[in-house]
């Protein structure tokens, strides 16, 4: 794989336990599911893997538990060519895990048990400072402590490094603490929780984006699933339509979007084209089962991109 932009992900690593079923048990009830998939996940790790598969030079700052999943997660990063020097095991704590339930429409519900992800502190970011300072872009999510996220945003600002935050899973936050970001990338649910406004369609998303921009955030990119994405800044708003897909599992599509967007932007593509390409990369990920396992290698993605530009 050729050298691409240097992307650092300060974030989570989980193991995903995905069950496919069309209905869910009532309290006290046991039902049969249709199938099961075990895979590496976690929003941070997924974004790192998407960036790597798109050709970025990626390094990860994360914590895993002292269980079976911890060393396996580190090996997975290494196997994919992601620098895991700053991925450490924490003793006496489980790795992050995510039981995931997927319906036949591809829609998912996720419960995250953060485990060792909660042990990633500001001091760990400082310990990785030399590596982080060499990055073109730092990518963050909310599956690690918020103080660590806020600290890393300040670190990126102080060192002039592009910073992208995916505020997932949704939680109410201090908007002033994230105002120094380059990109704030929520999905509909996260945009709703954080702005306090509905974000069910493009017009709703525009109102959310207005509120977030008014709070001082520079650029907002709201991902809207099958409705694509909305790119917003002081220079205006642009709807970026999705590419229609036969979706079987939408889990990790947002992560695919962010990891690929960070890479395309880091390669110097114009922002709008980076978002259009990220839309396709995310859409393609929904056609396969699992999170990281469903992400495309760059060459395969380029084949689809070229084909769609011709049609």
Q: Which residues bind ligand RIB (CB under 6 A)?
A: 14, 16, 41-43, 46, 98, 110, 112, 143, 251-252, 254-255, 291
CB of 134 to ligand RIB, least distance (A): 27
* Annotated catalytic residue within 136, 182, 204, 255: 255
Smaller CB distance to ligand RIB: residue 14 or 263? Answer: 14
Smaller CB distance to ligand RIB: residue 141 or 195? Answer: 141
3-state secondary structure of 261: helix
Smaller CB distance to ligand RIB: residue 53 or 161? Answer: 53
Task: Kindly write down the DSSP assignment for every residue of 96-136, as one continuous string.
Answer: EEEEEEE-TTS-EEE--B-GGGGG--HHHHHHTHHHHHT-S
- What lies within 8 Å, CB to CB, of 155 at 6+ separation is 125, 126, 129, 132, 138, 161
Smaller CB distance to ligand RIB: residue 24 or 176? Answer: 24
Helices 253-266 + 271-285 axis angle, to 10: 150
CB of 69 to ligand RIB, least distance (A): 11
Which residue, judged by CB position, is nearest to ligand RIB in the bound state?
Answer: 41
Active site residue 255: yes
Task: Measure Cα distances from 126 to 5, 131, 221 in Å.
Answer: 22, 10, 28
CB of 39 to ligand RIB, least distance (A): 8
CB of 236 to ligand RIB, least distance (A): 29
Smaller CB distance to ligand RIB: residue 195 or 250? Answer: 250
CB of 234 to ligand RIB, least distance (A): 29
Smaller CB distance to ligand RIB: residue 64 or 161? Answer: 64
Angle ∠(281,88,187) on CA atoms, nearest 5: 30
CB of 142 to ligand RIB, least distance (A): 10
What letter does residue 295 receive in the DSSP assignment?
P
Phi, psi of 228 (to 5 degrees): 85, -130
Spatial contact of 122 and 42, defined as CB atoms under 8 Å apart: no
CB of 189 to ligand RIB, least distance (A): 12
Please count the helices (runs of H) and the strands (runs of E) in the chain: 10, 13
Smaller CB distance to ligand RIB: residue 93 or 161? Answer: 93
CA pair distance 297, 4, nearest whole angstrom: 14
Residue among 126, 13, 17, 18 nearest 65 (CA): 13
The DSSP H or E segment spanning 298 is helix 298-310
- What lies within 8 Å, CB to CB, of 300 at 6+ separation is none
CA pair distance 287, 103, nearest whole angstrom: 14
CA pair distance 282, 47, nearest whole angstrom: 11
Q: What is the set of active-site residues? A: 255
């Amino acid at each position: 794989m050729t050298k691409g932009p240097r992307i650092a992900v300060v974030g989570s690593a989980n193991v995903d336990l995905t069950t496919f079923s069309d209905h869910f048990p009532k309290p006290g009830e046991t039902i049969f599911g249709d199938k099961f998939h075990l895979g590496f996940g976690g929003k941070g790790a997924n974004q790192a893997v998407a960036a790597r598969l798109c050709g970025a030079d990626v390094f990860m700052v994360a914590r895993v538990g002292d269980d079976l999943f911890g060393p396996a997660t580190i090996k997975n990063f290494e196997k994919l060519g992601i620098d895991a020097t700053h991925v450490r095991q924490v003793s006496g704590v489980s790795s992050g895990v995510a039981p995931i339930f997927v319906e036949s429409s591809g829609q998912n519900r996720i419960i995250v048990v953060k485990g060792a992800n909660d042990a990633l502190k500001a001091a760990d970011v400082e310990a990785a400072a030399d590596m982080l300072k060499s990055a073109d872009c730092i990518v963050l999510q909310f599956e690690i402590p918020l103080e660590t996220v806020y600290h890393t945003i300040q670190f990126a600002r102080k060192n002039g490094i592009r910073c992208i935050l995916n505020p997932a899973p949704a939680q109410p936050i201090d908007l002033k603490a994230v105002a120094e970001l380059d990109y704030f990338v929520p999905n509909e649910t996260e945009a709703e929780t954080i702005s306090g406004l509905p974000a069910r369609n493009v017009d709703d998303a525009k109102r959310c984006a207005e509120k977030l921009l008014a709070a001082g955030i520079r650029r907002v990119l709201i991902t809207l699933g099958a409705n694509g994405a909305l790119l917003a800044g002081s220079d205006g708003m642009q709807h970026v339509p999705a590419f229609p897909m036969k979706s079987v599992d939408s889990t990790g599509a947002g992560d695919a979007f962010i990891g690929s967007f960070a890479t395309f932007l880091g390669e110097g593509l114009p922002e709008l084209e980076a978002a259009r390409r990220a839309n396709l990369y995310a859409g393609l990920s929904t056609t396969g089962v699992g999170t990281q396992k469903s992400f495309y290698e760059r060459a395969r993605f380029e084949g689809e991109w070229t084909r769609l530009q011709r049609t």
